[in-house]
Amino acid sequence: MKHRIDPTVDCVFKALLGSEENKNLLIHFLNAVLAPPPARRITSVTLLNPYSDKDFLSDKLSVVDVLAMSETQVRYQIEIQLTVYRGLPERMLYNWCDLVSSQLREGEGYETLRPVHSIWLMGAILWKERDAFHSCFELWERENGWELCQGGGIHVLEMLKWNRKEVETELDRWVRFFKEGKELDDEALPEYMNTPEMRQAMETLRRFSEKERAYHVYRKRLDYLRQQRSMASNLEEERKAKEAAQRRAREQERRAREQERRAREQERRAEEERQEKEAALRRAAEERREKERLLALLKERGIDPGALED
C-alpha cells in the first residue's frame, strides 16, 4: 500500500463495517462478538446508516457509529471510541436506551420491542480494575440469573487489554486487526490475517491508501480527530486545574474555619480563666469580710481575738 491506514479512524471503521459492499464483514463481526448458538447466528442485516465518504468531508460530522437491523428486527449499534472521559458509561447506557425506545411508534405496545445490542470498541482502558477485555452488560436478575426480557445488552471491548499470544477466536482476530492494522503490510500479512474476511478488510484499507479521494477523506478525518483529541486534552487539563483550584480553595476554607475554631476556643478558655479568677477574688473578698465581721463581733463582746489564737 502507498500509505499505512489505521482501521480505528472513524471513516475507515465505518467503511469496514458500515458499507453495503462489506455487509458480510459486519455479519461476521457481530457473530464474533455476540457468539450466538448456531441456530441463532446472524445471516443478514440491513444497514440503517450506510457509509458514504461524502459524509466525512465535513469536520462537523458527529454520528459515526454503525447501525444495522437483522431480518428479525434486532438492532445493532457499533461504535469506535478512542478516548475515555467522565460520563462515558452513562453515555453508553443513554444511547442504548434511546435505541430501544425509538422503536416504538404511536399505538404500538411494549411487547413489540426488539433487542438492541450496542458494541463499543475502546481504544483506551475504561476500567483499570478489571482484567477482561470483553465486558457484557445484560438485563439479568442478580441472584437467580433470570432474564428480565430479551433486551439485548451493551458490549465493551477494551482492546488494549487484549494481549493473547495466539488468535483463538474470530473476535480475537478482529481485535488484533484493529490493534495492529495500521502497522500491517498487505504484501506480507501475518498468518492470523489469512482468512477471507481479513483479506477483504485489508482491501478496504488498501482503497483508502491508494485512491486519492478516499485518502483525502482519511487524512481530513485524521486531522479532525487529532484536533478533537487535543481540544479534549486541553479541556481535561482545564478541568483538572479547576478541580485542583477548588480543592485548594476548600482546603484554605477548611484551614480558615479551623483557625477560627481555635481562636474561639482560646477566647472561651481565656474567658473561663478570667471568670475563675474573678470568682476566686470574690471568694477571697467574702472570706476577708467575714473574718472582719467576726473580729468586730468578738471585740464587741470584749473578747481579745489575739488571746483566742494563743
Report field, pTM of the whole predicted structure over 0.85: no
Q: 27 and 42 in contact (C-beta within 8 Å)?
A: yes
Cell numbers at residue 278, please? 474573678
Closest among 81, 74, 122, 135 to 99, alpha carbons compared? 74
**Helix ranges (DSSP H) in the chain:** 10-18, 23-34, 88-101, 170-180, 196-210, 212-300, 305-309
Predicted confidence at residue 55, as pLDDT, reads: 65
Compute the C-alpha angle 117/119/125, nearest 5°. 145
Alpha-carbon gap, residue 212 to 208, rounded angstroms:
8
Q: Tens-digit pLDDT profile for the chain (310 aa)? A: 677 888 998 888 999 999 999 999 999 999 999 999 998 999 999 999 888 767 666 555 555 789 999 988 999 999 998 888 888 999 999 999 999 999 888 888 888 889 999 999 999 999 998 899 999 999 888 888 888 888 899 999 999 999 888 899 999 999 999 999 888 887 888 999 999 999 999 999 988 888 777 777 777 777 777 776 777 777 777 778 888 889 898 999 999 999 999 999 999 999 999 999 999 999 999 999 988 888 888 888 887 777 766 5
